[in-house]
């Protein structure tokens, strides 16, 4: 047995709907610009370029019900509601036709983004890590375990702030649907059980301020709720 110089941290995890058990998180992958209307609102031309990925640390996930501190270094914290895919069976070079066999379940998550840092990173050709991978940047609702037949290909993807709807898209608008995303990711890295994939956000992203109550919901999947606490 390996002896560590200090006790290793507990694995990051997300809740499982209707169960006291938790899903251990290995890593968090995120897809950029996967809804045409959001690509346009960010000043890009959605031409079905191959999907691109960025990552967040596993321990950036936090549960529904959290009070998330307003993060440092930003004056423009944005919400991005997203379908989260939880990988239950690993693999490399997965065929998109078999990709759903690797999916354990789904959740509603929010890809919190320090938009001002991301704009600076884009302008300076710097990496996105600091704009995307900060502490508590990946609130994620309970995972729903789903058989292949329950795969949600359509259904509303909504986010409201203080009860007002800000994002209202549909999973059917995904430029690259879940099987393609899993297949693409598995060509670049070996996917393993515990990997989460945030699949991109529909249009309507915008700023959050301390005191905001945020609720994301995806039809047939579930919801995530959190508040933004003071700095
Ligand atoms: Mn996103």
Of 180, 29, 177, the C-alpha closest to 95 is 180
Task: Give the separation between CA 210 and CA 32, rounded to whole angstroms.
Answer: 26
| Contact between 88 and 193 (Cβ < 8 Å) | yes
How far from 212 is each of 45, 77, 88, 108, 227, CA to CA, in Å?
31, 11, 34, 18, 6
Reported as a single tens digit per residue, the pLDDT across 46-71 is 777 889 999 999 999 999 999 999 99
- Inter-residue contact 196 to 85 (CB < 8 Å): yes
Alpha carbon of 91 to ligand 1 centroid (Å): 24
Token pair 């251990």: residue: 24
The DSSP line for 100-126 is GGGEEEEEEEE--EEHHHHHHHHHHT-
Confidence of residue 134 (pLDDT cuts 50, 70, 90): very high
Separation of CA 78 and ligand 1 centre (Å):
10
67-121 per-position pLDDT tens digit: 999 999 999 999 999 999 999 999 999 999 999 999 999 999 999 999 999 999 9
What CATH number should be reported for the domain whose range is 24-229? Answer: 3.90.850.10
How many whole angstroms from 108 Cα to the centroid of ligand 1? 12
The predicted model scores a pTM of 0.96
Q: 201 C-alpha to center of ligand 1: Å?
A: 5
Query: What is the C-alpha separation between 114 and 134, in angstroms, rounded?
Result: 9
Distance CA 110, CA 19 (A): 22
Give the Å distance between the CA of 1 and the centre of ligand 1: 39
Contact status, residue 178 vs residue 103, Cβ threshold 8 Å:
yes
CA of 111 to the centre of ligand 1 (A): 5
Ligand 1 centroid – CA 122 distance (Å): 15
CA of 29 to the centre of ligand 1 (A): 10
């Amino acid at each position: 047995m390996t002896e560590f110089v200090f006790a290793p941290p507990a694995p990051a995890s997300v809740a499982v709907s209707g169960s006291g058990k938790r899903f251990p998180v290995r890593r968090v992958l995120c897809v950029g610009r996967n809804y045409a209307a959001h690509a346009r609102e960010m000043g890009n031309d959605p031409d079905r370029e191959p999907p691109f990925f960025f990552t967040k640390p596993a321990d950036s996930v936090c549960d529904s019900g959290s009070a998330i501190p307003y993060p440092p270094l930003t004056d423009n914290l944005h919400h991005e509601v997203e379908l989260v895919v939880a990988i239950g069976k690993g693999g490399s070079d997965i065929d998109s036709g078999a990709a759903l066999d690797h999916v354990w379940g789904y959740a509603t998550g929010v890809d919190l983004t320090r938009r001002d840092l991301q704009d600076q990173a884009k302008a300076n050709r710097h990496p996105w890590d600091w704009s995307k991978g900060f502490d508590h940047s990946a609130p994620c609702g309970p995972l729903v375990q789903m058989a292949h037949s329950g795969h949600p290909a359509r259904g509303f993807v909504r986010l409201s702030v203080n009860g007002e709807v800000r994002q209202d898209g549909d999973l059917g608008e995904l430029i690259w649907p879940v099987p393609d995303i899993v297949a693409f990711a598995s060509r670049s890295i070996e996917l393993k059980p515990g990997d989460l994939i945030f699949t991109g956000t529909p249009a309507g992203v915008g700023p959050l301020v301390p005191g905001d109550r945020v609720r994301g919901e995806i039809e047939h999947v579930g919801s995530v709720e959190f508040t933004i606490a003071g700095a």
